């Protein structure tokens, strides 16, 4: 009998005998191949399709960066109204993300994605036909609801269908498509900028309805999340999905056993349909999350919400959405030149997120996250210094500094996309226990959108108050605090099953000791089998 066959036999015995808890499911999973020869194409395809919902947010962010200058000229609105126009969609999305968890537990992950696409379609149409500022803000509200839904559900779905060997790879796709959407928005700005003023910005915003239609139809061909199916008692359907999305049949059996255990289904139950205690509509979840959390849940909650707080709190959206204004402050006056420089930012953002996607499961979450924070902090401080010098020498020969400032904005978004951008979605979607996952992730998304809204609705006023350079010094300082937060509190989750996460958390600053204990326990269990 070969070693591989022995591993398979042990895995099958652990599940079929009902002794999985004694042997340790995570220990048995550890015996399975961590890196299959090739990625699961089915899991890859459906994760890509689900994650494409994030294009909606990315497109809105990118297109508004250029459209605002035309909207301001056409509708004759103030800088404060521009801040509200740009930033309030993130506040509106709080409504969507707040109810998305409950909706996804009620109708399923798949139909929640369809719902998100439909709402954003309506919002894009309203914005495209807006005749005044009030009408435009109504469209922003509707689109914001769709954005909240999309941001919450895409990473959750990807995490629940992905095998452990490539979960980080697949759950980073939402951030990939946010970046791709940003780039599309930048290109749309440049493409429609030559149209008459009253038509150009409306085309920029209205075109956002097209991808939402394609996404809404495409998602109908996706399977439902196996974890949601188990929570509905549909074990037979869940098994079929797991067989397709796992790297092997042995892993599929073990994933199903893990989910059954988390959902309170007996491990020796093999019926197609079973009765499951109905926790799927959120009963008791908020109490366990907020009122009486255990130490592991509290640690998970701090990390899951904290990473989204800092992802937006460092001011990344000020670079993404206000880059034309930053370049104007740096000395670029021509509109086409500003939009072209903005496209370069989008290219940098997309390029680095694509690279990171392929390495998130190889290098782990922590190294990429910490490297990203360090790079963003240094680039923010350097950009603040450059813009301060330019601001104080308006008539000087500063072409070199102008080019350097453009390069630094590209560096900021590049370093962000190397770690903090995708890891926030990967990490928060994989650490919450099954019964708390939808609501926990919705809280993270709510924090993400709230902080983005705060930054976007205050950036113009902020740089007018403390100068453009001072604003980026402030963001650099916040990024430094984020580095310390991640370094001290965040365990590495690479290669661990979703059902194993709760054991990893709960010791807060002493998580390294806990990780060593778990690894030793897994090794002992593996040797015992």
- Write down the domain spans for the chain: 40-278, 280-528
Q: CB within 8 A of 505, min separation 6: which ones?
A: 295, 296, 297, 299, 300, 303, 431, 491, 511
3-state secondary structure of 300: helix
For the chain, the helix, strand and coil percentages under 3-state DSSP, each to the nearest 5: 80, 0, 20
pTM of the entire predicted model = 0.72
3-state secondary structure 303-363: HHHHHHHHHHHCCHHHHHHCHHHHHHHHCCCCHHHHHHHHHHHHHHHHHHHHHHHHHHHHH
Q: Match domain 40-278 to its CATH number in 1.20.1250.20, 1.10.150.240, 3.40.50.10440, 1.10.600.10.
A: 1.20.1250.20
- CB within 8 A of 109, min separation 6: which ones? 50, 153, 156, 157, 160, 224, 225, 228
Give the tokens for residue 292.
Answer: 């009486």
Q: Per-residue pLDDT for the chain (529 aa), expressed as one digit of tens each?
A: 333 333 333 333 233 333 333 333 333 334 344 444 455 788 888 878 877 778 887 888 888 888 998 999 999 999 999 999 988 888 888 888 778 878 888 888 888 888 888 998 999 999 999 999 999 999 999 998 988 888 778 777 877 887 777 776 777 777 788 888 888 988 999 899 889 989 999 999 999 888 888 887 888 788 999 989 998 889 999 999 999 888 888 888 888 888 888 778 888 888 888 887 665 445 577 788 888 888 989 999 999 999 999 999 999 989 888 888 888 887 787 888 888 888 888 888 888 888 877 777 778 889 999 999 999 999 999 999 999 988 888 766 677 888 898 899 999 999 998 889 888 888 888 888 877 887 888 788 888 888 988 998 999 999 999 999 999 999 999 999 999 999 999 988 877 776 677 778 888 888 888 778 777 776 776 555 5
Environment class of residue 489 by beta-carbon count within 10 Å: exposed (0-12), middle (13-18) or buried (19+)? Answer: middle
* Residues 472, 453: Cα–Cα separation, whole Å: 17
Q: And the tokens for 457?
A: 């609705």
40-278 shares its CATH topology with 280-528: yes
Tokens 């990625």 locate to 39
Q: CA-CA distance, 263 to 259, in Å (whole number)? A: 6
Cα–Cα distances in Å, from 236 out to 46, 53, 150, 230, 497? 20, 28, 28, 9, 21
Q: How far apart are CA 143 and CA 228, in angstroms?
A: 27
Q: Is the CB of residue 313 less than 8 Å from the CB of residue 478? A: yes
- Its CATH architecture, for the domain 280-528, is Up-down Bundle (1.20)
For residues 36 and 243, give the distance between their C-alpha atoms in angstroms, rounded to a whole number: 15
Residue whose entry in the numeric block shows the structure tokens 């591993």:
7
The CA-atom distances, in angstroms, between 502 and each of 47, 264, 507, 514 are 24, 16, 11, 11
Residue count of the chain: 529
**Please, how many CA atoms are within 13 Å of residue 66, restricted to the half-sphere of its CB?**
35
């Amino acid at each position: 009998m070969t070693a591989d066959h022995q591993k398979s036999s042990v895995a099958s015995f652990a599940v079929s005998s009902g002794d999985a808890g004694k042997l340790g499911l995570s220990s048995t999973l550890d015996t399975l191949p961590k890196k299959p020869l090739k990625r699961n194409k089915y899991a890859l395809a459906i994760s890509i399709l689900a994650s494409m919902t994030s294009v909606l947010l990315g497109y809105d962010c990118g297109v508004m960066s250029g459209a605002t200058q035309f909207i301001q000229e056409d509708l004759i609105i103030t800088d404060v109204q521009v801040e509200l126009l740009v930033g309030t969609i993130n506040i509106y999305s709080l409504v969507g993300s707040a109810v998305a968890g409950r909706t996804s537990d009620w109708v399923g992950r798949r139909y929640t994605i369809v719902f998100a696409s439909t709402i954003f379609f309506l919002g894009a149409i309203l914005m495209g036909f807006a005749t005044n500022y009030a009408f435009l803000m109504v469209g922003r509200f509707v689109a914001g609801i769709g954005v909240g839904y999309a941001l919450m559900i895409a990473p959750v779905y990807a995490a629940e269908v992905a095998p452990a060997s490539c979960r980080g790879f697949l759950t980073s796709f939402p951030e990939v498509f946010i970046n791709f959407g940003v780039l599309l928005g930048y290109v749309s700005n440049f493409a429609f900028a030559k149209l008459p003023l009253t038509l150009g910005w409306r085309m920029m915003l209205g075109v956002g309805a097209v991808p939402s239609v394609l996404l809404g139809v495409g998602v109908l061909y996706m399977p439902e999340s196996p974890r949601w199916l188990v929570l509905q008692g549909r074990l037979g359907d869940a098994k079929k999905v797991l067989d397709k999305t796992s790297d092997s049949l042995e892993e599929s059996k073990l994933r199903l056993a893990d989910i059954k255990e988390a959902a309170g289904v007996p491990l020796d139950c093999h019926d197609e349909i079973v009765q499951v205690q109905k926790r799927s509509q959120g009963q008791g979840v908020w109490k366990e999350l907020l009122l009486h959390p255990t130490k592991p849940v509290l640690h998970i909650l701090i990390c899951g919400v904290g990473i989204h707080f800092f992802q937006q709190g460092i001011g990344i959206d000020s670079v993404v959405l206000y880059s034309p204004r930053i370049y104007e402050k740096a000395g670029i006056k021509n509109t086409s030149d500003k939009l072209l420089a903005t496209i370069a930012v989008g290219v940098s953002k997309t390029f680095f997120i694509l690279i990171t996607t392929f390495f998130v499961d190889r290098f782990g979450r922590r190294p990429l996250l910490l490297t990203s924070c360090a790079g963003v902090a240094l680039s923010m401080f350097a950009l603040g210094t450059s813009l301060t010098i330019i601001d104080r020498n308006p008539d000087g020969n500063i072409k070199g500094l102008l080019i350097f400032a453009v390069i630094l904005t590209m560096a900021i978004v590049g370093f962000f996309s190397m770690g903090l951008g995708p890891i926030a979605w990967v990490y928060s979607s994989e650490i919450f226990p099954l019964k708390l996952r939808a609501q926990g992730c919705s809280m993270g998304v709510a924090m993400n959108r709230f902080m983005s809204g705060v930054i976007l609705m205050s950036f113009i006023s902020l740089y007018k108050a403390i100068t453009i350079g001072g604003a980026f010094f402030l963001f650099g300082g916040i990024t430094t605090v984020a580095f310390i937060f991640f370094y001290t509190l965040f365990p590495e989750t690479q290669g661990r099953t979703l059902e194993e996460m709760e054991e990893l958390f709960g010791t807060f600053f002493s998580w390294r000791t806990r990780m060593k204990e778990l690894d030793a326990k897994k090794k002992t269990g593996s040797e015992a089998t």
